[in-house]
Structure 1
């Protein structure tokens, strides 16, 4: 395999960012004066056709191994295909890039067999005081189809064992670790072990981080699921691109439409899902530097 070309850099007065054309994969967003918000594995394989570990992978047209199971690659083919830059522009306070992917870019016969439909996808990335991601899927086929989608954001935290995730109180969820569908969140979520939960919630979520002294505010549009994931120590040790120590530095809080909440698209219908992150500075743990 060949090495990925360097990501495209973006900057404005309010932030900097970076995106790989493969997968339209955002790997960096740093608001002015803040610590990095997106976690990127220092040991990820930056190779053509290999998923990048960290940043914001796009999961499409299925999530994990698909709603019915048995699909590969995991999380769909969109994150390892080259997307096409349709436009890029910047102003004093925002840098924007628009990517496009269609069924014509899907050349692997196995992938085409698993998703034999015509489609057009647009992905708009806005770097500024907020990171704004908008994924639009249009059914250009003459048949209806269902898709799963997720913006699988890896968020930097000071210590995942010390954060709390607010905004999910009362939401039902599937606990994939326990293989249970009937769980209900009570209060804030404190991660205490391997976590892989698909919440049925479109509410705003906050990641409260006392170590870095900030709150990450996450808002979603047309996203009926919030996925929260961290592999924890044992699973991470078996993942070469996470490692024995990397798992403490991130939490995945994803905007998604998956499983029972998959999106049904009739011919010529378009669905747009948006994911927004903003940083609110609080008070840092005096024992930890934000850098």
Structure 2
């Protein structure tokens, strides 16, 4: 969590796991607002909460299209339903369920996970070796050679359904991210200059974070037939 995050209604929280829906960034054409969609700004309702005998807490939240105001949703349809299932125990499980209404539903989605690390300059990501990616910083495409390391501003969309691991050398731990229903992984760190332009992010916070995101965007966006459901999930554990 950024120490500069703005905890106000209608403002995105800088940290945690912001929910991306129904478009990623500015959408396919780059002209949609707010950035990353409106689901992370809307007010969800609690459907259920329970704790298992082993101490695992499970929560279900819902957001129905008719509940979202036109001012927040721009011109996006209101004919859909969302659920977020969260299980907190020895691992963190998050499931995003999207249900189309009476019409076909097309959308992008993501779990924009911020991970705290000891020093991103001494951290690497495993599991993306040999995968193609689009580099949003340079506007070019490339293939990953070896492990993903962070040595400058990094914003890449990897075409990969594979699981990944964050190896945090400074804190001596490995974080595993297992995902289902996601065809892409985004790796992001703003580095020095971009951090200074972000009003809700401290200038010196970039070494202590790394985003590894479970995503379906661009050519991997989802289209559901009327009444169809789609599930995307991630399970995060410490090895």
- TM-score grouping bracket, smaller chain normalisation: over 0.9
Q: 1:233 to 1:274 in 2, by over 3 A?
A: same
Corresponding residue for residue 202 of structure 2: 243
Give the alignment partner of residue 14 of structure 2, picking from 53, 56, 60.
53
Corresponding residue for residue 44 of structure 2: 83
1:101 counterpart = 2:59: no
Question: Is the 1:223–1:257 contact (alpha carbons within 8 Å) kept by the matching residues of 2?
Answer: yes
Question: Is the 1:133–1:276 contact (alpha carbons within 8 Å) kept by the matching residues of 2?
Answer: yes
Secondary structure of residue in 2 paired with 1:161: helix
Corresponding residue for residue 85 of structure 2: 124
Corresponding residue for residue 204 of structure 1: 163
Q: 1:150 to 1:51 in 2, by over 3 A?
A: same
Q: How many corresponding residue pairs?
A: 238
Supply the distance in 2 between the matched residues of 1:61 and 1:193 (Cα, whole angstroms): 29
Question: Is the 1:197–1:227 contact (alpha carbons within 8 Å) kept by the matching residues of 2?
Answer: yes
Q: TM-score, normalised by structure 2?
A: 0.97
Corresponding residue for residue 253 of structure 1: 212
Q: 1:103 to 1:112 in 2, by over 3 A?
A: farther
Give the alignment partner of residue 117 of structure 2, picking from 144, 150, 157.
157
Question: Is the 2:3–2:202 contact (alpha carbons within 8 Å) kept by the matching residues of 1?
Answer: no
Q: Displacement, 1:117?
A: 4.1
Corresponding residue for residue 18 of structure 1: none
Higher relative contact order (CA 8 A, sep 6+): 2
Q: TM-score, normalised by structure 1?
A: 0.80
Unpaired runs of 5+ residues, structure 1, are 1-39, 281-291
Corresponding residue for residue 146 of structure 1: 106
Unpaired runs of 5+ residues, structure 2, are none
Question: Is the 1:106–1:112 contact (alpha carbons within 8 Å) kept by the matching residues of 2?
Answer: no
Supply the distance in 1 between the matched residues of 2:200 and 2:82 (Cα, whole angstroms): 28
State the Cα RMSD in Å: 1.0
Q: Displacement, 1:204?
A: 1.1
Supply the distance in 2 between the matched residues of 1:228 and 1:207 (Cα, whole angstroms): 11
Q: Displacement, 1:56?
A: 0.2
> Which consecutive segments of 4 or more residues in structure 1 shift more than 4 A?
none
Show CA shifts across 1:43-75 (max 9, x none): 111111111100000000000000122000000
